[in-house]
Chains A and B, each alone.
Chain A
Amino acid sequence: MISSKVWNIINVSLGLVSILLFLNLIGVTLPTIGQAQYLLDREDPLCVIYTGEETTAFNNLDRCCLEARKLSLCLPDKIQLEQGRIDWSCSAGKNGYLLNNKAYNYCRQQPYW
């Protein structure tokens, strides 16, 4: 037999879920954990293009995100380059884009990601 207290907890939880689902349905979006992570991260975003052995810093983050997205999936990676620390690798063959967490979290917020 479920106690009255448990019923209350279940009902309040379902009520909250209903409110969130309703808000989402009418287009009200709440900040996500990813957005919070991006805002709290004090690091500078870093995107690096690699073509074979050569790496070049890519200062235009918007274009970097779109170009990286075109290359399928990005996977976690840990690399230390002269430009900075890399956390994600988005590659196609021997070429691709390397991003730190700040850049990756920014990219994930883009509508095409």
Chain B
Amino acid sequence: MKKKRFDAQKKIFYVLLVAVLLLGTLNIAKAQGLLIPNIPLITHQEGVIDLDSLNLDQKIAQMIVVGGHPGTFIPWKNMQLGGIHLFALQTEHIFNNTIIDFQYGQTIPFFVTADLEGCVTPFSHIRNFTSASEIDDIGKAFEKGFREGEFLSKLGFNLNFAPVVDLEDQIWKCRSFPGNETEISELAQAYVLGLQNQGVIATVKHYPGKTLVAEDPHKLVVAAEIEDEDIYPYKYLIDKGDVKALMVTHIIASGKVDSEGFPSVVNENVISNIKKDYGGLIISDEIHMLGLKNYYGSVDEMYVAVFKAGNDVILNFDRNPNEIYRMIQVVKAAVERGEISEEQIDSSVSKILEAKGFVVR
């Protein structure tokens, strides 16, 4: 009787042990993103891409920039996402090797993005650059762009989220150029030319302005009255025709730009108004910031809203590959049920692929 009980307990033990090992392995595989179905490889012929040959998963994936955390090579590459954003790494060598590993074997290269924009940057421990606040003439602004572009390009970056053209930086006190709106615009234009001269795309930000102002600590999303001078730099830089990317922020705007009580980044009017005069990339600020999700009943609604608003590139630095894949599926479902038009997705993907140097048919 006692022996039978021992035998039963042993059997249960082995069954549970196998279950734990199996479930543990599946959990590890899931965490690594290995259970995510592969998105078919995008192909091109001598740099020419037929947009009709891309399926919706491929198109939506190209619109997403994620955090390029070491250890996420496999899922990000398998999903063929649009880009990776690198945080600080120990040395130039590690930056360079990480980027090479990410780009290796990609038929469509990643945008490799950085925030080299002021006095506190992910590169401060490697190289010090002059802060924008210390730049007071056009020659120095061009040189700043040129030197930063040279540095970033050497490491493998191709898109920098700078220059800041907010008229005032009350937080870091170093990210905005000095002067009035005209002077800031001229300095930013020179910086853009310097940076892009090295093959690194510049991003003017944070539309529509007043993002770097001291905030009420009890409010998650900042509201601001936007005046003519706040949007002057954008008009100036767009008129010059050199700006290839523009970042829209979460600020709730009223006045000269009206985001109708919602964060600017999810407001269709704000973004469609930019598109009237500007054909470059429109990039969303990171979507986990400033309580953006508090405006929606679920994260899924937020995902749909940020695409639907008309952003071409969406920054989502979530480390979880399964969540990024889920985002693609949620947006795909919204396109399939007609909530987001496929023409809009096509237009964004064309801009992204052209910015990456491809000819889109």
Contacts and interface: CB of A to CB of B under 8 A. Distances in A.
A9 B164 CA distance: 61
Interface string B236-269: 0000000000000000000000000000000000
B67 A71 contact: no
A23 to B, nearest CB: 10
A54 B174 CA distance: 12
Contacts of B318: 111-112
A71 B174 contact: no
Interface string A37-58: 0000000000001010010101
Interface in B283-303: 286, 288-291
B122 A17 contact: no
Judged by DSSP, the binding face of B is loop
Interface stretch (B23-31, B147-155, B337-345): B23-31
Contacts of B174: 51
A92 B172 contact: no
A28 B56 CA distance: 28
B289 to A, nearest CB: 5
A24 B87 CA distance: 28
Contacts of A96: 120
Interface residues of B, number: 50
B17 A93 contact: no
A110 interface: yes
Contacts of A67: 120
Contact of B215 (A4, A59, A92): A59
Contact of B115 (A22, A70, A72): A70
Interface in B121-159: 121-125, 128
A111 B320 contact: yes
Interface string B160-176: 00000000000111100
B333 interface: no
Interface residues of A, number: 39
B12 A11 contact: yes
B166 to A, nearest CB: 13
Contacts of B90: 72
A113 B123 contact: no
B100 interface: no
A21 B24 contact: yes
Contacts of B27: 21, 24-25
Interface in A67-113: 67, 69-72, 91-97, 110-113
Given A71-B87, A92-B121, A63 B290 contact: yes
B361 interface: no
Interface in B167-196: 171-174
B10 interface: yes
Contact of B323 (A22, A71, A111): A111
A24 B35 CA distance: 14
Contacts of B121: 70, 92
7 smallest beta-carbon distances between A and B, as pairs: A112-B317, A21-B23, A93-B124, A72-B88, A14-B16, A92-B124, A59-B217
12 contacts: A18-B23, A51-B119, A60-B171, A67-B120, A72-B87, A92-B122, A95-B119, A96-B120, A111-B323, A112-B286, A112-B288, A112-B318
Given A60-B290, A92-B88, 9 more contacts: A4-B9, A18-B16, A49-B172, A51-B119, A58-B171, A59-B214, A66-B289, A70-B121, A113-B319
Interface of B: 2, 5-6, 9-10, 12-13, 16-17, 19-20, 23-24, 26-27, 30, 67, 87-90, 115, 119-125, 128, 171-174, 214-217, 220, 222, 286, 288-291, 317-320, 323
